[in-house]
Amino acid sequence: MVEALHFAEAEPGRMALSLFPAPTPQDVDELAAAWELHPLLVEDLQHAGQRPKLERYGDVLFMVVRSALYDNAAEDVDFSEFHVLVRPHAIVVLCQDKRWIDGTSEASMSGNASDLAVRNGHTLLDDEYLLNLGPEAVAYRLLDAIVDGYAPVLRGLAIDKEQIERQVFSGDAAVAERIYRLSQEVIDLQHTTTSMADVLVGLRQGFDRYEVPEPLQAYLQDVADHLTHASTRVSELRDALSQILSVNSTLVAQRQNEDMKKISGWAAILFAPTLIGAIYGMNFDVMPELHWTLGYPLAVGAMIALAVGLYIVFKTKKWM
């Protein structure tokens, strides 16, 4: 780290890019010593699981950003956290989840930072004009690649939403769990995009104070526009899922109401014969038609007639 920093500062126009695919506590300690980092910043670097944020410690800009990758098989969104440090002539990227933006694992990552930075279309070093503007340009290209990565995630979630809509109206009882799972993924993505928007706002607020070149300001505005579009789609997805859940609850209630009608109808049909049988099963000595020859067939006939009559009534009213 010290050699890279000295190399970048030795002549104008030089810049050092350091990438840590799987940062260890020792890596963080070496970086802290070489860059003379603030203790609070070092503590943040040693603890992952943070939401996107922006902080400045002297001439060091610290960003926490999160990329997203959609897993179609599991219908899940995998988030990767990156810690980015920027200072004059140097930039450091720490992959806290041991994955690159495109999901490349630590084992597949090249030891050369420039090789990884240009793979699978996530280019950080291909714009010579922007690179001449310093390490902030690389940081902005990283933000652009991360924000652009939200688009395929949103497409995957939108396809899941359409499938869920068809599943709801087909009467599938398992759809509620799928709605809740997808809603959780959308909520997590919304938290990420909202926090990323705060990061971009913080960068824009520092344009004048830190004399950010106008081309970089325009580039960051383009990133912000893409992020706004993604945030809007996330909000629409969340609202749509809320409506789908409401519709599903209504349909479930309607099906339960129909089931209760059928249960009530059959209960009434069975109650009428049971009532007659209960009356004539009390074994009193003095009862009408107790010793009448036609009493038994008449009682059975009354049971059948009442049951059939009630069935016809309930069938007419579409309770059965």
> Quick one: average pLDDT of 111-115?
51
Between CA 2 and CA 178 the distance in angstroms is: 51
Phi and psi dihedrals of 109, rounded to 5?
Answer: -75, 140
Higher pLDDT, 145 or 299: 145
pTM: 0.77
Higher pLDDT, 164 or 111: 164
Number of residues assigned to the chain: 320
Mean pLDDT confidence for 216-224: 90
Contact 69, 153 (CB under 8 A): yes
How far is it, in rounded angstroms, from Cα 114 to Cα 125? 7
* Listed ranges 130-134, 172-176, 244-248; the one with the highest mean pLDDT: 244-248
Nearest Cα residue to 68 out of 230, 259, 302: 230
